Amino acid sequence: MEQVSKYFANRDGYPQYAGPENLKVLGNWVTGDIQQVPYTLLEVIDLVVEARRNPDSGVEEFGGNAHYTEIEPQGVHIQNEYVDHVRGDFTLDQALDVLTDFWNYCARVHPERTAEDLARYVAEYGHDPVAGLI
What pLDDT was estimated at residue 109?
A: 87
Task: Grade residue 1 by pLDDT with cuts at 50, 70 and 90.
Answer: low
Residue 73 is assigned to a structural domain of this protein = yes
Residue 68 is assigned to a structural domain of this protein = yes
Range of the domain at 18: 6-125
Residue 53 is assigned to a structural domain of this protein = yes
Distance CA 97, CA 95 (A): 5
What is the tally of structural domains in the chain? 1
Q: Supply φ then ψ for residue 49, to 5 degrees.
A: -60, -45
Residue 123: count of CB within 10 angstroms of its CB: 8
Distance CA 109, CA 42 (A): 16
Residue 131 is assigned to a structural domain of this protein = no
Q: Is the pLDDT of residue 2 over 60?
A: no
What pLDDT was estimated at residue 69?
A: 92
106-128 per-position pLDDT tens digit: 898 889 999 999 999 999 999 99
pTM metric for this prediction: 0.89
Residue 93 is assigned to a structural domain of this protein = yes
